[in-house]
Amino acid sequence: EAGVAQSPRYKIIEKRQSVAFWCNPISGHATLYWYQQILGQGPKLLIQFQNNGVVDDSQLPKDRFSAERLKGVDSTLKIQPAKLEDSAVYLCASSLTDRPRAYNEQFFGPGTRLTVL
């Protein structure tokens, strides 16, 4: 079974530029997550999709970050314009669903390491 795919693996940009990341979850997984992982910290949830609807985007800096999952499958996360503090690894994860009181393992992609200069 193929895992969660992400691209690119690495990206270097200058501040105020734009960048986009792509994620293809495991086939059949309804729930998709984007996390930001700053060096030395745990992952921080940016946005969670259930199919093509947003479940939680409370920690997404909406003035510069946007994400979509138009057909309920793959997803893109965009930063426009980027700031120095956006340098981090951006992780995509997916799970079968997100039902209450049910355990749904999140499977993570390899991440995209973003460096903003």
CB of 98 to other proteins, least distance (A): 7
CB of 103 to other proteins, least distance (A): 6
**In terms of CB distance, is 24 or 48 closer to other proteins?**
48
Q: Of 18 and 56, which CB lies nearer to other proteins in the complex structure?
A: 56
In the chain, the largest separation of any two C-alpha atoms, in whole Å, equals: 43
Sheet (strand 5-7) strand order: 5-7, 19-24, 75-79, 65-68
Tell me the closest approach of the beta carbon of residue 16 to other proteins, in angstroms. 29
Residues that bind other proteins (CB under 8 A): 3-4, 40-45, 48, 56, 91, 93, 98, 100-101, 103, 105-106, 108-111
Q: How far apart are CA 62 and CA 54, in angstroms?
A: 13
Instruction: Report the candidate in 20, 23, 43, 42 with the shortest Cα–Cα distance to residue 31.
Output: 23
